[in-house]
Amino acid sequence: MLKKVLIFAVLVAVALIVFLFQSGKIYSLFQKEILFYEAKSECDLHVTSCEITLQNDKKITLDIDKPFNAGKEMDFIVQAEGFGDDELLAQIYGINMNMGIFEYPLAKIAAQIYTGKALLPTCMSGKMSWRVNIISQKEGIGASFILEL
């Protein structure tokens, strides 16, 4: 009887751990808190690159090869001044609708230059606003841009 109770307790514990991990609760416990900086003024990534100044004169500039659209692969080019990361992370999620969180690595190709590709789904209801976070996990800071598709 004690053996059955012990097996049941272990199964319940494993199921709970799997559930919490899948829901992101356990995963978030091991994540470093990221301090985000946002652009002080509006910037249209369809027209030009956008720059955000972070702490200690660090700057992140995001550019996307033009023209670009949802449903098609986009080339992200990031200039990150004052960072020593081998890789940055682009984290993208919908602002006006939950379409999931998309994460794409940005590889360092030259001093202060990172690139990567991203693919975002097309929203059937029309225009979609996305938040594009460029994150330095090493520094624990990031820049937050708005992308309209």
Specify the fold of 33-148: Immunoglobulin-like (2.60.40)
Give the start-to-end residue ranges of the domains of the chain. Answer: 1-31, 33-148
Give the dihedral of Cα atoms 107, 32, 41, 97; nearest 10 deg: 90
pTM here?
A: 0.78
Which pLDDT score is estimated for 83? 93
Q: CA-CA distance, 70 to 149, in Å (whole number)?
A: 6
Token code pair at residue 122: 């097309």
Is the Cβ–Cβ distance between 147 and 49 less than 8 Å?
no
Summary mean pLDDT of the chain: 86
Q: CA-CA distance, 93 to 14, in Å (whole number)?
A: 30
Which pLDDT score is estimated for 100? 86
Which pLDDT score is estimated for 92? 94
User: For residue range 15-66, what is the model confidence (pLDDT) as tens digits?
Assistant: 767 666 665 555 555 556 889 999 777 889 999 999 999 988 899 999 999 9
